[in-house]
Structure 1
Amino acid sequence: MRCEICGKKVIGKPIRTKIDNSIMLTCNDCSKFGKVQREPPQPQRPGRAPAGRRRSYRSQEPTQEVVEDFHKLIREAREKKGWSREELGEKIYEKVSVINRLESGKMVPDLKLARKMEKILKITLLEKTDQAQMDDLNAAHMRKATIGDIARIKKG
């Protein structure tokens, strides 16, 4: 995490600071340019563990994406089985127009449709991606501009 004012890497938890009616996540040094905000208390729902004991798997959760050349894979697998587009549509309970759009690359299948295609055609259309790894790659390749990059901060 980087400070939204100066752009330095924030060690530990960033400080929520209100500067000119905007809440920003800042480093300790830049927090003096505004008013430090308390964290709002988390609402407790009955039957749930307290916030400190809950585990969050969301950031490390593997996600799936459709492979880039899905349209070629679908068409080649269908032709290899000797099926027409109509026959494939009947087998997976989809309209022929959907098959046409998939094979032409004009439509990207959602996860449910991609899984149906994988099962019936015995091909692999989905690949697993680690969202956290992608976030790290994106952060390494591009650093967003901070307010500190744009404006000079008046000290004093």
Structure 2
Amino acid sequence: MRCEICGKKIVGTPLKTKIDGSVMLTCKECSKFGKVQREPQKQRRQGAPRKTGAPRRRPRPAEPTYEVVEDCNLLVRQAREKKGWSREELAEKIYEKASVINRIESGKMIPDIKLARKLERTLGITLLEKSDGATPEDIGHLNARGATIGDIARIKRN
């Protein structure tokens, strides 16, 4: 493990240090820049039964994430024209302003998920697609250890 301040490899256990309101894992040298936090004492053992008798919560399955399709502006315009509606009529049906429809159709605005669902229901089209949910951690980093504050800021030492 590496220090989140200087980036040096930490020998032993890192110290949780509160520096300017942020808790970071630091080496012993960098812990002097803040206040070392104590580990909270554990109230009960991990496998101990609950006294309240309440059922244990199961972790929620990951909800699928959605993205708006790339050519949503064309799909909205074509579907609206096919139904013979003006922008004002469509806006009235989904309880939005006509300027919002204008901005969506001109490509100046990408609708959020809630608005895209309203448009899908009203126009009978598909604007949302499931995304793979890849996070930056899944893709990988250019630098194996990642950036530290020490890479960005120069620490003044007296």
Residue by residue, what CA displacement relative to the aligned partner does 1:77-118 show, whole Å, maximum 9, x if unpaired? 222333322332233233322211111122232322211101
Distance (whole Å) between structure 1 residues aligned to residue 9 and residue 57 of structure 2: 27
Distance (whole Å) between structure 1 residues aligned to residue 60 and residue 16 of structure 2: 24
The secondary structure found in structure 2 opposite 1:99 is: helix
The answer as to whether partners of 1:61 and 1:130 remain within 8 angstroms in 2 is no
The secondary structure found in structure 2 opposite 1:24 is: strand
Which structure features the higher share of helix residues? Answer: 1
Distance (whole Å) between structure 2 residues aligned to residue 135 and residue 111 of structure 1: 22
Query: Cα RMSD over matched residues?
Result: 4.2
Query: What residue is the counterpart of 1:44 in the other structure?
Result: none
Distance (whole Å) between structure 1 residues aligned to residue 107 and residue 58 of structure 2: 40
- Which of 50, 66, 88 is residue 90 of structure 2 equivalent to? 88
Stretches of structure 2 lacking an aligned partner (at least 5 in a row): 42-51
Residue by residue, what CA displacement relative to the aligned partner does 1:41-73 show, whole Å, maximum 9, x if unpaired? 8xxxxx9x7xxx665549x44333322322122
Letter paired with 1:64: Y
Distance (whole Å) between structure 1 residues aligned to residue 146 and residue 59 of structure 2: 26
Q: What is the TM-score with the length of structure 2 in the denominator?
A: 0.59
Distance (whole Å) between structure 2 residues aligned to residue 147 and residue 91 of structure 1: 51
Identity %: 67
Query: What residue is the counterpart of 2:71 in the other structure?
Result: 69
Distance (whole Å) between structure 2 residues aligned to residue 137 and residue 114 of structure 1: 27
Stretches of structure 1 lacking an aligned partner (at least 5 in a row): 42-46
Letter paired with 1:16: K
Query: What residue is the counterpart of 1:120 in the other structure?
Result: 122
Distance (whole Å) between structure 1 residues aligned to residue 123 and residue 82 of structure 2: 9
- Which of 87, 102, 105 is residue 104 of structure 2 equivalent to? 102
Q: What is the TM-score with the length of structure 1 in the denominator?
A: 0.59
Distance (whole Å) between structure 2 residues aligned to residue 92 and residue 113 of structure 1: 8
Alpha-carbon distance change, 122 to 2 in structure 1, aligned in 2, over 3 angstroms: farther
The structure with the largest alpha-carbon Rg is 2
Distance (whole Å) between structure 1 residues aligned to residue 139 and residue 7 of structure 2: 16
